[in-house]
Every structure is written in C-alpha cells, then in structure tokens.
Amino acid sequence: MSDDLFSILRDYPQIYLACHSSHRARKGKTAAITARDATFLAHIADDGFTTPGALARHLSLSRSTVSEELKRLRALGLVAMEGAADDGRRVRIELSDAGREAIVGSSVLDADRVRAVLGQLRPAERKAAVKGLRLLAQAARALADGGTRKTEAKR
C-alpha cells in the first residue's frame, strides 16, 4: 500500500468526523432541497459540468431527465441558464447565489466547522489544502466517468 493511499484512508475520516453536520434543522434555512437536487447542484458547481449534455453523461441520466430537473431548479431560483455565445443551441448552466447557499445547506459537512478547520491553517496551507481536495475530486469524477484526468500529466 502506498503512503499516499494510506494517508487518505487515515486522514479523510478524521476530517469527516470533525466536520460532519449534525443534521439539525438550520435556523433561517430556505426551502429544503432533495438529495437529488443536491447532487445536481454539486455537479453544476464544478466548472467541468456546465452543459446539460455533460451533466446527463456524468450522472448516467437521459437528457430529458436532466432537462426536467434543470427546469425545476431554475424555477426555484437555484440555477441560471443561458445560451452559449459561440453556439445558440448549447446552454450553459450556472449556480445562482441561492444555489450556492443550497449546496452549503445540504452538505454532509457543517460549514461552520469547515470554516474553523480552515481558519487554523496559514493562507498558503489553506490554498494548498483546497487545491488538493479539488484535484482529488477532479480525479474521482474522471474515474467515475470511465476516463482519466486530462488536465495534468499522470505522475
């Protein structure tokens, strides 16, 4: 077993347990979203999933299913959709501020606890930690999509 593998298997549960949400109703929380809504929003939040087709492929859903869900999320004010500048047939999906808040409100991690953890790091450490987590998420997404990351050479 590699040291990197061991470190992740050892360290991730510590982060999860320290920051896990207690699932209590949050004061001032807006209308609840479903687990499915949260899944869609989390994938829209990432720069790699900005079109309905890409989202449908990643989630292994039909385009019509994704279209209906996006229509619902748009009606709730959680996403905005606009035609791509270079091709009027393509649609770009973006989170609204309410959509970002919904992700925070539905996360398995408690935002205040994560904020406290990040607050214990020096700015350079914080930036490295966030970048590292983003890289792991990108690689996990690529694996789930049946491919490999293309943004950086494999090491």
CA–CA separation, 96 vs 78, rounded Å? 5
CA–CA separation, 155 vs 152, rounded Å? 9
The string of pLDDT tens digits covering residues 46-70 is 654 567 887 888 888 898 999 899 9
**Does 152 have pLDDT greater than 50?**
no
- CATH number listed for the domain at residues 33-107: 1.10.10.10
The string of pLDDT tens digits covering residues 71-109 is 999 999 999 887 766 665 677 788 899 999 998 888 889
pLDDT band per the 50, 70, 90 thresholds, residue 151? low
In the chain, domain spans? 33-107, 109-150
Would you say 90 and 51 are in contact if contact means Cβ atoms under 8 Å apart? yes
